[in-house]
Structure formats: structure tokens, C-alpha cells
Structure 1
Amino acid sequence: MTDQLDIAFLGLSLSSSWGNGHATTYRALLKGLDADGHRLLFLERDVPWYAQNRDLADPEFCALSFYRDVPDLLARFSDRLASADAVVVGSYLPDGVAVIDALLGLRNEGVCFYDIDTPVTLAKLDKGDEAYLARRQIPRFDLYFSFTGGAVLERLERVYGARRAIALYCSVAAESYRHTGEPASWDLGYLGTYSDDRQPVLERLLIEPARQLPQMRFVVAGPQYPATIDWPANVERIEHLPPARHASFYSRQRFTLNVTRADMVAAGWSPSVRLFEAAACRTPLISDCWPGLDELFGSALVVVGDTTDVVRALTVIDEPRRQDLAARAQACVLRRHTGQVRAREFASALRCLGLREKQRLPRQSRQARV
């Protein structure tokens, strides 16, 4: 690369991975962009639930600043937001509609949207729910980056008026996700925040198998699970697992389970960051089924539909087969789904907008880059 882009992001959270999957997605992408020399600013709304659970308050790969509300954002960052080569607004941004309107008042081009929740977003819009994005705003974005690929991209352009919709799947910071060499602690594990629509699937694909296999060990990590859930005695619970402990967590599982939200199953082509993280750690994958899964991973994972499928996988798959699954999934992810790969896809799409190219700027301190 011979040029550098100046990119400002406004997203749900970079500083805290508590109760959201956005932070790790942004971290992998921004690390990749930083490695290629781009100038990066991430602006995050200062909210108490993340402020109390920050696990990355001072990143080395970008400048990170917090704002109180939209007036504070504009008072302190208007110049930078107006002058950046591109401004990228993420889904679930607090007061997102007001923030987007403000940005469109500051600049006529180079405003993009990164939807890390595309099927959920479109389901909300179809119900008239414009909590963080208004339907009228979609045609104003130069690019609509979508966590979901496949047919949803055409729908975004044809039905919602997006100028150009591009799949930008989540990714993994490969340098942080490697097998740790620790012995297995669990036969099957799951990492994810509680969700009403995922819970019946988790019951079917982990909790019931745990009941049927009392001699095996299971684990569920993530916050916000109701106290009313009847966990079997052989299911260990971890309330919150910060990213620094993810590699160890995956490395200590014989298999890891992926469970997908209902809207994303219906849309297909919505790979969870947990798939990429576990695969990078060389942990074999067991996943629910949705369109696009075979195209993304081929036969490098075990696709299940019910309790019997999971029990069979845990009891029948032998060690050579388990290791083969892990190796093929890892190779797929390291070749196609790292933060470095995703960052170059992202930067290439921005350059296609005709944004002004700059000479590479010298490396500066984080303070100077704000």
C-alpha cells in the first residue's frame, strides 16, 4: 500500500465487550486497518453499562474518544468528522438517527453505514422501528456495509434504496486467537449473551444433550441469562468472559457450539464472530443450520438440527476426525476471515468511492491522532 485513509467510526462500543458482539468485530477490523497504516478514530457514546465493564479503554491501534450526547459530539468532533476521508456509522448506535442526520449535515459524501445486525435492522424497519437507523437515511449512504451477505444485499438496494450494499462479514484478530495448548476442560461449550430467540436452540443443542450425557462436561459463558433457567449439574456457567480469555476458553473445549439468532437464520449468510474465533483457535465447530453456511465453511464443521445430532457428534466422532475438522476450519478462517483480510476488503470499497488519496502519514502518538 502506498496511501492512507483517514476514517472515523461511530459505533456501539469498542471499549467494552460486555453484553455485545460489536466490540470484538470492530477490534479485529481496526487492527487490520491500523496494520496497513490508516488513520483511525473511534467515537463511542459514554454509557454507564459499558463504562463499568471496559476491557479496552486505551487501544494501541486507533484513537478512542467518548462523547456524552449528540450536541457534545458535534461540539468536540465536527471538524474531524467533516474532514475525514470517510465516516462509518455502526448499527445499534445510541441516538443513531440523530447522529446520522448530523453527519449528513456536515458532509455530502463519504458517509457509510456498517450494519453488524442486518437481518435484525431490516426486521425493525419493516415494523416501523427506527431506533438507530431511519429508512429514509439508507439512500444517503455512499456504502452500506452489511454483516449479512447473500440475497439481503440485493434487497437492501432494490427495496430499501441503498446505493451500494457490500458484504463485510465479521472477522478474527488472528494474532489473539490461537490454541493455547491447554488440556480439554469441557466436551462442548457456548459463548454468547442471552437472547430470547436463541435460548430454545441452546436448550435443544446444549442443555438437553448435557442431560443425556451426564458423564460429559459442558459450559455456557455470557451475561444476562435469567435465574429461572434449569441448568444441569454438568453445565458450568461463566457470567462474563472478556476477550483476553477467549482463546483459553475455546482451546479447552473438544467442540464449540454456534447458535444463530432467528432473523439471521432466516436471512442466511450471517456468520457469527464466534465461528471465526473458535476456528482460529483450532477448536472443532458444531453449528445450527442456515443458508450460506456450507459456502462459507464447506464441510469443515458439524451441522446439527436437534439434540440427537449433537449427542451423536459428541459420542461418535473420533479424535482423528475431530482434529481434521479443526484443521480445515482453521485453514479456512486464516485464509479468508482475518481482520487483515477484512480491512483490505473494507479499504478497497472505500477507495472505489473516489475518496481523495493521501500520501502515507508518519506514525503519530494516539493523542496526536485524535
Structure 2
Amino acid sequence: MKIVEAKVIVCCPGRNFVTLKITTDQGVYGVGDATLNGREKAVVAFLEDYLCPMLIGKDPRRIEDIWQFFYRGIYWRRGAVNMTAIAAVDTALWDIKAKMANMPLYELLGGRSRDGVMVYAHANGSDIGETLEQVHQLSEEGYKAIRVQCGVPGLDHVYGVGKKGPDGTRYEPADSDLPAEHVWSTEKYLNHVPKLFEAVRDQMGGDLHILHDVHHRLTPIEAARLGKEIEQYNLFWMEDPVPAENQEGFKLIRQHTTTPIAVGEVFSSIHDCRELIQNQLIDYIRSTVVHAGGITHLRRIADFASLYHVRTGCHGATDLSPVCMGAALHFDYWVPNFGIQEHMAHAEVTEEVFPHAYTFDKGYFTPGESPGHGVDIDEKLAAKYPYQRKCLPVNRLEDGTLWHW
């Protein structure tokens, strides 16, 4: 059995997505997500110019060997572009292998460890009241865990609170071909955001899981202050409290608060999170299939994390395609130390381009029983939605200093 074609498909059905389709000489094919938001074409070039030609003629069943070939053999290891490209190859190969075995991917990984995958949705609004309306709506839809974000008085733009779309929902402002510039104030944010959690608990009680994304915006001592102040509201997690480059900073946060910490959606390898995990400085690792080297490497991260009581909480925003969501759900179904899975609903047109087997019911997803990871791409429909360059914003402090977005 040999690989005879490796094709990259770029489309924009609501968001930009990069998909790798690998086909064998027996007609079996697999698809992998290769989307890197804001740097999509860099991954396209890396795949088309380098990895895809090297795949031709290889045995697709040798997943581990191919992974090592691309990770060790390229010499320039790690990095977002490299690991996203490797992840696309790896996911497509697992898809092929599971289809050859005529079983859903989770069975090939070792079988399911649970009956459903708990996911969390996003509630956000320009103010606390608007966010609470979304919390109530999502709770009625069955979600048992909800990430809450809201606008901050005195700031025009706050992460997690995009502008309102035609359907009334809010989405991230990746809507310009050059980065928009937003103004940020840590002081205004820290003074306001605890009021959001107080309001949610007052209205929803103690059973709802509340999550919040700080989005790397605080210093360690500021994050420690926030974590300590919000302990009374019993958050499921405080996500990305500080930039992760200085991992010593997490020690300071741990010294001051018991609020659980989640981090890792921008990590590309186990080496990015090794010290955080083995020193038990985090509670959830958020690395995902598409940006952390695929299922092969994410399994290593999860197995390592399990030794230190760290659970998974894979990233699942709408800038990851349904291919990644499908693969993640099969991974979540299997992984013993599962914590939670992020879920942002894709646009209807996206779901038409990427038909899938996974389903949602009462706060939980199941990945479906289709052979492989259960997600495909309609190439003819995808061709109707050409790539559009889009950039996420950048942040500046009120004095003009460039800050973390």
C-alpha cells in the first residue's frame, strides 16, 4: 500500500481553513486539518513544497515512522508552522488507518473511556447583562460548562467579545486583511471582571461550570491577584493568565491561588509544557490535534500529563476546522485523563463543506461510529469559497505600548 497523492485544499466558508487530503493506491483517503489562523498560507507552502512530495510512495500504515521522519528528519524542529503541517499529515494517516480497519478512530486508539465528551460553549456580551442572556440560552440548550467573557467599561474592544453578526451572535474580529489595533487596560479589566462571575453565580447557582479566558494579558502577580479574588466563585478554570514563555511565572500564581489554571492552545510540542506539567503548575493542558503534531504527539502529551494529575482541555475554536473537531472528539472519547473540550459552533456553511458524524446532546458530544474520524470535505463546494486573507487584532495599552492580544 502506498500514498499516491497528497493534496492541499484551501477554502473560506465563513473562516479560512486548510485541509490536507492523502490518497492511497487502494483508493482509501484521509483528511487532516492544517489551519493556522492568520498564517494559513505559510502552512500551505510548507506542505506543498516540502512535506507532500516526501509522502508520495510511502506506506500510510507506518504512522509513527512518518511522524518521526518529518519531526526528526527536517532538522528545524517544533514551531507552529512545522507542527501544524505534521499534524495534518498525522491526522489524515490515522483517518486512513481507521478506515482500513473499518472502525471509528477511537476504537483504534484503544476504545472509549466515557459515554460522552463534555464540552463548553462561549457566552459573551458587551456588558454583564448581555453575557448573562447568553449564559441562560446556552444552559437551556443543555451546556453544563460555559466560558464567560464581557465588555469592560471604558474599553471599546475586549477579547472574547466580538462584534455582533447578522444572527445576533458575537464572533472574534478576524475580519480585516491587516490587523486592527485595540486599546487595553489591565486595571479596568481587573476591577470589572470579578463582577461578571458574581452575577453568573447569583443567577445560575453553583452547579454550572464557569470558565474564563484571560488571553495572556496579565503579569504573574496580577494573575495571582485575580485568581485569589475569584476563588469564591469556584471557576472550572482560569485560562492563559500570563504569556507562557516565562514558565517561572506560573509558580508565583500557584503560591497565591487555588483557582485552576489551563494553558497550552499555542503550544506545539511536549517540550513547551513539560515543566509546567511535571511541576504541577497547571491543571489542564489545552494543546490540540492540529497545532501539537497530530494525534500521535497529543497522545504523548496526555500520557505524560496523566502522571501529574493534569487533564486535557483541548482548544476548539471556530478557526479550527470540523476535521480537527472530529479528530479531537475521538481523542477525547479515548483519553483517560480527559477534562473538557472547547466547542464553538461553526457556521452552517462550514458544516456543509465539512460533513461530519459527530453529534451533540445535553452538554455532551459523541464522535459517531463512522470509520475513521468521521469528517470529510466536499471539494466542489469548498471551491466556491476561495481564501480571503484575514488577521486577528493586536493590542496596545492606553499609552500606546504594544501589548499581548
Which of structures 1 and 2 has the larger relative contact order (alpha carbons within 8 angstroms, sep 6+)? 2
Give the alignment's TM-score, normalised by structure 1: 0.31
Higher fraction of helix: 1
